[in-house]
Chain A
């Protein structure tokens, strides 16, 4: 029963509130009735239906979720069904069957209308931003990493410093360079993984950061460099505790152990 519930939940989340599955099922039924070519019926009706059945069948679903894939990524089995190809082929088939201009206009207008009304529009996705560079990484992150890598001690010893970054940097810094080792990575900012990172908690807190506390914590964790967002306040000077300021970008301030500078 749990497997059936999980499968239905995956379908619900996959489809969201769109007409995606509905359009696909309509196309499948239409092709099932109208398509006469045996091979195309197999490819665009029987095969997608068989794949959907394997996805929904509780025994195969249980096996996939618990022994092979994972419940979290079971939705990827839905990728095997060529929704777009089935729907678009059904439209082409219908337009070839109904030859009058008004009939074809009706089909194409109906299809695009349903897409516009019922499906998510990529071009309205607000998560796209103008790229700052060819790396498609935040320029501030690149600048901060470059400052760390150009520190005199790092260059002279060809040394890979061990650093701690704020949450806004951890997804990007290691994409840009492998020359900087880190105390924690992306796992630290995924809440459901419950990763224990006291240093990150300290530099992420809204309260002013005590210079002595952050520097002693850095020394205890063998952190040779730490970066904080420049809207955070530090009470006291980290230089007094062995971590002078190395540099700053528009968004970040970098402190590095004195012996590396």
Chain B
């Protein structure tokens, strides 16, 4: 069990770190690099798994394809780091430097550490786990994807409602390579992991919207307080992240949406290479939950509309306003493709 945990943690840390070398901008900080590395892992899994799921192919064959592609990316990332070190572009930060950078973030890190420990030591049962966790467990046992009724284990046709949300399959893959049970991965590892990623994304957002560095940790700390006090009903995204962190819908509401706001900010400020990240985020969103096909389209659509109207008010030129919409329309393409696939499977 302990080696399984170590393997899982190693995969969840090492892969995003190395892959991030291929995708991160030069000026991006550690949390952003890590998050982008993870989104590549998820996006790649969605791209690889959906054709296998729809064609009812075997889980193990899909895993081989995914692992080969993932290894190529990991290897390429490692090579890039090695080349950087060789060319002395890669500067290993000193302990004092790291400490000074982390010091202002100490209260946030303490708050996060307490919550992570709490997540491992305490449990919160959620009925929907009997779908999500069971789906991963069944996949490992039967080598099929979404082809068994989670309630009784008998054979069914692929359910269109869930087939695009490949997250339970990714957990099954993680379980397969690490040797740890899917329930333990979801409840004891993914819960603190996702919470950490969430705080990292809010740090990314703070880096964009707050110029004065000293206020950024304060913003994230306030976000932490807000989250701790938003268990107001069963329905808020904040409630979901604390009661069913590992489920795709909680990840959508608390990882994908704040990350989308970071990328929308980048699109508003015309930061380079943002559009590919928006496309990647679309894949990750659908990976988490099929409903993201619609929800993220609404978000990108409204963001484009707001920019278009603002541009029109400023310039009074319809053509300029319409041109500002183009990146947002392109960003919706993976989602619209997902929507078409969803409609076909559902039929």
Q: Give the docked Cα–Cα distance between A186 and B172 (Å).
A: 21
- Provide the residues of chain A in CB contact with B5, threshold 8 Å: 134
Which residue of B122, B130, B231, B269 contacts A129 across the interface (Cβ within 8 Å)? Answer: B122
Is B226 within 8 A of A18, CB to CB? no
A15 and B233 in contact, given A42-B310, A177-B137, A182-B151 (Cβ under 8 angstroms): yes
Q: Give the docked Cα–Cα distance between A125 and B233 (Å).
A: 11
Is A184 within 8 A of B302, CB to CB? no
Q: How large is the interface on B (under 10, 10 to 19, 20 to 34, 35 or more residues)?
A: 35 or more
Q: Give the docked Cα–Cα distance between A174 and B132 (Å).
A: 10
Chain B nearest CB from A224 CB (Å) reads 13
Q: Does B183 contact A (CB under 8 A)?
A: yes
Q: Does A100 contact B (CB under 8 A)?
A: no
A178 and B134 in contact, given A42-B268, A82-B257, A120-B233 (Cβ under 8 angstroms): yes
Q: Does B327 contact A (CB under 8 A)?
A: no
Which residue of B187, B212, B298 contacts A54 across the interface (Cβ within 8 Å)? Answer: B298
A186 and B130 in contact, given A77-B295, A84-B227 (Cβ under 8 angstroms): yes
Q: Does B123 contact A (CB under 8 A)?
A: yes
Residue of chain B at shortest CB distance from A179: B141
A14 and B236 in contact, given A82-B258, A92-B210, A175-B133 (Cβ under 8 angstroms): yes
Chain A nearest CB from B140 CB (Å) reads 7
Residue of chain A at shortest CB distance from B153: A181
Give how many A-B residue pairs fall within 8 Å (CB-CB): 229
Of residues A64, A84, A115, which shows the largest number of chain B Cβ atoms within 10 Å of its Cβ? A84
The secondary structure that dominates the A interface is: helix
Q: Give the docked Cα–Cα distance between A177 and B127 (Å).
A: 16
Q: Does B100 contact A (CB under 8 A)?
A: no
- Provide the residues of chain B in CB contact with A182, threshold 8 Å: 151-153
- Write the residues of chain A forming the contact surface with B, with a CB cutoff of 8 angstroms: 10, 13-18, 20, 38-40, 42-44, 46-47, 50-51, 54, 64, 68-69, 73, 75-80, 82-85, 87-89, 91-92, 95-96, 111-112, 115-116, 119-123, 125, 127-132, 134-137, 160, 170-172, 174-188, 190
Is A43 within 8 A of B295, CB to CB? no
- Provide the residues of chain A in CB contact with B222, threshold 8 Å: 87-88, 91-92, 111
Which residue of B138, B183, B310 contacts A135 across the interface (Cβ within 8 Å)? Answer: B183
- Provide the residues of chain B in CB contact with A135, threshold 8 Å: 181, 183-184, 187-188
- Write the residues of chain B forming the contact surface with A, with a CB cutoff of 8 angstroms: 1, 5, 118, 120-125, 127, 129-131, 133-134, 137-138, 140-142, 148-154, 181-184, 187-188, 202, 205, 209-210, 212, 215, 218-219, 222-223, 225-233, 235-239, 242-243, 249, 252-253, 257-258, 261, 264-265, 268-269, 291, 294-295, 298-299, 302-303, 305-307, 309-310
Which residue of B122, B125, B309 contacts A130 across the interface (Cβ within 8 Å)? Answer: B122
